Structure 1
Amino acid sequence: MKIIAIEEHMLPRDIIESAGLDLGLRAGKRAAQLDDLGEGRLKVMDDAGIDIQVLSALSYFVKDLDSAQSLEVNRQLNDRMAQTVSTYPDRFRAFAALPMTDPAAAVAELTRCVEELGFLGAMIHGQTRGVFLDHPSVRPILAAAARLDVPIYLHPAPPPAAVFDSYYSGLPAEVSACLSTSGWGWHSETAMHVLRMVVAGVFEELPDLRIVIGHMGEGLPFHLDRIEDMLTPVVTGLSSTVAETLRRNLYLTTSGYNSDGPLLCALSAFGVDRVLFSVDHPFADSKRATTYLESAPVKDSDRERIAHGNAESLLGI
């Protein structure tokens, strides 16, 4: 069975060090794997049976740089991914990293990456300095993605300082760091981020915009019925319900989740055509992810869709 994994991170050490950035506790432990774009990464893929990784830079570390440096670092990251795809054209594709503090520059970089480098879309890491993707200042980036016919993968990022202080302070440092990110916080924030886009009318303005989120839907499949009951068109003023909008514009990936409950919930809420395989390399184990995929309680035709068919359709691979 062919397997395409679409949330697979990189962050070359030389680019990060030259920008004076610190990877911190969690990513720092994975620095060598994030840096590896050659034989080590290919061995992980081969051992797990993964045919193609769609690379994405863990670029939320770049967001707080000034706009000029952010653009330069993102261009370096994109050029490095393009070089890797060129070196291993049968094994890698890429999502663009964008300088989100400068929307005009982000539009130009997305256009360059798609039209000149052959990238399949972009990955955006959460809010940027408190600005979510429903904000009018960001609309040109979303419009460019729709015009270029590529999706945006909305990936979590650490919360704003005010949110961290309100919800996660007063705990041991390592506990609060995990609770505010991979242990809970960034899943709920990403789900809220998507809902903000829905209720702000982003998808009514841009009906062809496609958004991908990971971690089996960041909790949205489980809560979808409740959301639908409460955020009705009477409340939102929109022509479509929240569920109708999400099922039209949203795709989910399996990244980091390898158990029946979340998978079956995602399939029940969104349907098999909206669920794609990913690992979340190097923060999750590739072999564990593919082993679960091979044994998941779905029919073989659906397994093929999740493993590669939906990615091929969405991304044009």
Structure 2
Amino acid sequence: MRVDVHAHYFPADYLDLLTAHGSRHTDIARIPCAGDAEGDIDARLRMMDTAGVDLQILSAAPQMPYLEDAGNAVEAARFVNDRYAELVAAHPGRFAALAAAPLPHTDEAVKETVRALDDLGFAGAAVSTTVLGRTLGDPSFEAYWAALDDRSAPVFVHAAGRDLDSPQIADHGLTWIVGAPFEDAVGVLHLLRAGVPTRYPRIKFVVPHLGGGLSFLLQRIDDNYLHYHEAFPALPSTLLRRMWFDTVGAHAPALREAIDSFGADRIVLGSDYPYFQGDLYTRAVRYVSEADLPAEQVRAVLEDNVRAVFDRL
């Protein structure tokens, strides 16, 4: 089975709810075939069929229910998780869902994540790289990670779209071109430095965009750790090779470099739908087969590796 682990679904009424609660970042999600407008799902399924994708694993990131008011955050999280559950039920075998949690309200986030995983049957959870300015290594999130670890849950870590708090990114149209992959890398390094994957080894972290540059920087990160005794609980490359990385990027040299750095068994198929549609969606899948890789590595990336991560499927 060919599974796309990096696809988004943005129901319009959910985006409206976020906007009503103060979000100013929903416009980028209001694009054709992204949500539940008439014909959207049929068009999505046609593109999946053309690309040879059997199932998409859907997340709401970066349109997450991260709101200052706990009541609003819980309302938004329950709303979007229920909508995802409805879509999954309406199209058996074509979609799975990742839980959205009302962080930074940790007690409420645990309750809603447990509901999504245990009652709604979600495949895992999704988080953004920052939560209202807090890193994923924030000590207040410990109970959330513990609940996911108890369930050996996959966790998809997606860029927040907050430009690394840099006007050099935000003010020059670079939020998603450069900002997002660097957010992936920095967000994961915060997780590692805080020791989250070490304390909760049963969580299966999935990082998009081929790791956002982490493979290129792998030796540099290790060398600085050894030289400066940075506060990682173990050698960073060892910790990173326990994670998985999706193929979003459609650049064969980068894919080969990620495989060389992390291992072919650590790469899973991702598309970033709906931001890549039509021919670009097909290319997101096809380029793996055209990347001059051994046949067994192609098969592992496109079909086999996902089973080790999303065993709930």
TM-score using structure 1 length: 0.89
Inter-CA distance 68–279: structure 2 relative to 1 (3 Å threshold): same
Runs of at least 5 residues in structure 2 that lack an aligned partner in the other structure: none
Q: In the alignment, which residue of structure 2 is the partner of 1:304?
A: 299
Q: In the alignment, which residue of structure 1 is the partner of 2:12?
A: 13
- Residue type of the partner of 1:185? G
How many residues are treated as equivalent by the alignment?
304
- For residues 227 and 105 of structure 2, the distance between their equivalents in structure 1, rounded to whole angstroms, comes to 33
- For residues 53 and 303 of structure 1, the distance between their equivalents in structure 2, rounded to whole angstroms, comes to 19
Structure 1 residue 208: Cα displacement: 2.5
1:37-186 equivalences under 5 Å are: 38-60=41-63, 62-64=65-67, 66-159=69-162, 163-165=165-167, 167-168=168-169, 171=171, 176=172, 178-179=173-174, 181-186=175-180
Cα deviation 1:11-36 (Å, max 9, x = unaligned): 101222244255555333x2542335
- For residues 228 and 17 of structure 2, the distance between their equivalents in structure 1, rounded to whole angstroms, comes to 52
- Residue type of the partner of 2:142? R
- For residues 159 and 14 of structure 2, the distance between their equivalents in structure 1, rounded to whole angstroms, comes to 22
Task: Using the aligned pairs only, state the percent identity.
Answer: 29
Inter-CA distance 232–210: structure 2 relative to 1 (3 Å threshold): farther
- For residues 235 and 245 of structure 1, the distance between their equivalents in structure 2, rounded to whole angstroms, comes to 16
Inter-CA distance 168–263: structure 2 relative to 1 (3 Å threshold): closer
Find the partner of 1:214 among 191, 208, 212.
Answer: 208
Contact 1:71–1:99 (8 Å) recurs in 2: yes
- For residues 189 and 7 of structure 1, the distance between their equivalents in structure 2, rounded to whole angstroms, comes to 16
- For residues 309 and 288 of structure 1, the distance between their equivalents in structure 2, rounded to whole angstroms, comes to 20
2:289 paired with 1:294: yes
Cα deviation 1:63-98 (Å, max 9, x = unaligned): 235221111111111111111111111111111111
CA RMSD of aligned residues (A): 2.1
Find the partner of 1:260 among 252, 261, 280.
Answer: 252
- For residues 206 and 18 of structure 1, the distance between their equivalents in structure 2, rounded to whole angstroms, comes to 33
In terms of mean alpha carbon deviation, does 8-17 or 270-279 score higher?
8-17
Structure 1 residue 187: Cα displacement: 1.4
- For residues 239 and 59 of structure 1, the distance between their equivalents in structure 2, rounded to whole angstroms, comes to 28
- For residues 232 and 25 of structure 2, the distance between their equivalents in structure 1, rounded to whole angstroms, comes to 41
Contact 1:251–1:276 (8 Å) recurs in 2: yes
- For residues 97 and 259 of structure 1, the distance between their equivalents in structure 2, rounded to whole angstroms, comes to 30
Find the partner of 1:191 among 185, 188, 198.
Answer: 185
Structure 1 residue 48: Cα displacement: 1.4
- For residues 158 and 258 of structure 1, the distance between their equivalents in structure 2, rounded to whole angstroms, comes to 20
